[in-house]
Amino acid sequence: MTTRAPGDTLRIGIAGFGKIARDQHVPAIAGCERTTLAAVADPAGGLDGTPSFASLDDMLREADIDAVAVCTPPQIRHDVALAALAAGKHVLLEKPPGATLGEVDILSRTAERAGLTLFATWHSRHAPGVEPARAWIAGRKLRAVRVTWKEDVRRWHPGQAWIFEPGGLGVFDPGINAFSILTRILPAPLRVTEATFRTPENRTAPIAADVRFAAADGVVVDAALDFRQEGPQTWEIDVEADDGRLVLSAGGAELAIDGGAISLPPEGEYADIYTRFADLVATGQSDVDPTPFGLVADAFLMARTETVDAFHDPAEAGKR
């Protein structure tokens, strides 16, 4: 393992080069003065102008990298991250940090024993409206919280059948973003009290879900999640307090208080993530918060399941 000084550039290899890696990780790494993209590993192909490898093993063996950003489907993140740690590399995990809570615990313990940084990212916590929302909520008496998180899976995950397989989370792949915000802005811990899943007859994971949480301070939180929304997409958290109302929308990029829009800086979720990663590596720390993932796991434990019509994605047929 190479020790990095605070001013050193962190050389990163991306494992798994799909949509999220191309759309978010590549530009964020390029835009951060303290990171550089040094390699890509994916059997389906890499990035022009960047050393690219057909396998993780080849990248770990041949590339000049300090860290690995794991952007594979969650079902294989544990094995990829474990191999990177074994090779002496720091690891950044896309959300969710694995397929199970047990996997995350193993990775956390392994990184600690090796003296390496492990960063389980929650990109939605870095949305510009999250911290102002947290500050407004602090000290207020809350009445109710409502989450509406509805998007079109065909638009955001075209042809990605893994998302409906065991470990893929189904609608909780985006829904966990809402839970990551809730666990940041609300002052009291949450527990799942009820859940209803709607699972297509030809899939394993839910395409829609309703979840109710109870906070330790008595506040009830209701979440409605749906992967079938067409037209405008909805990512909203509505907080009602005794003395006002806050609405965090567009996934945390927009904030309104008592109906008035609050001025916010531009979005920079992944840029913040890579700055944070560089800080963690430079100071020899890790950041692994499994709380949002635990809420998803509890929802699966508490859920009543309803079978709904089969779901078909034309983009999957194109991959066969």
What are the CA-CA distances from residue 111 to residues 89, 91, 107 (Å)? Answer: 9, 9, 6
Quick one: pLDDT at residue 8?
81
* 191 or 316, higher pLDDT: 191
CA-based nearest residue to 107, from 291, 236, 277, 286 = 286
Name the pLDDT band for 6 (thresholds 50, 70, 90): low
The CA-based dihedral angle spanning residues 60, 64, 69, 74, taken in that order and rounded to the nearest 10 degrees: -10
How far apart CA 183 and CA 292 sit, in angstroms, is 7
Asked if the domains at 10-120 and 127-261+297-317 fall in one CATH topology, the answer is no
β-pair partners for 260: 257
How far apart CA 181 and CA 68 sit, in angstroms, is 25
Quick one: pLDDT at residue 33?
94
Residue type, 75: Q
Quick one: pLDDT at residue 316?
85
Mean of pLDDT over the chain: 95
Question: Which of these is catalytic: 19, 89, 95, 150?
Answer: 95
Domain boundaries, the chain: 10-120, 127-261+297-317
Question: Is residue 24 a contact partner of residue 270, using CB atoms and an 8 Å limit?
Answer: yes
pLDDT > 60? residue 3: no
What percent of the chain has a predicted confidence (pLDDT) above 70? 97
Averaged pLDDT, 39-64: 96
pLDDT digits (tens, 9 = 90+) for 280-320: 999 999 999 999 999 999 999 999 999 999 999 998 875 54
- Indicate if 95 belongs to the active site: yes
β-pair partners for 91: 68, 118
Quick one: pLDDT at residue 7?
60
The CA-based dihedral angle spanning residues 236, 212, 167, 162, taken in that order and rounded to the nearest 10 degrees: -40
Quick one: pLDDT at residue 5?
54
CB neighbours of residue 152 within 10 Å? 16
What are the CA-CA distances from residue 170 to residues 208, 233, 262, 296 (Å)? Answer: 8, 17, 33, 11
Homologous superfamily of domain range 127-261+297-317:
Dihydrodipicolinate Reductase; domain 2 (3.30.360.10)
CATH class entry, domain 10-120: alpha beta
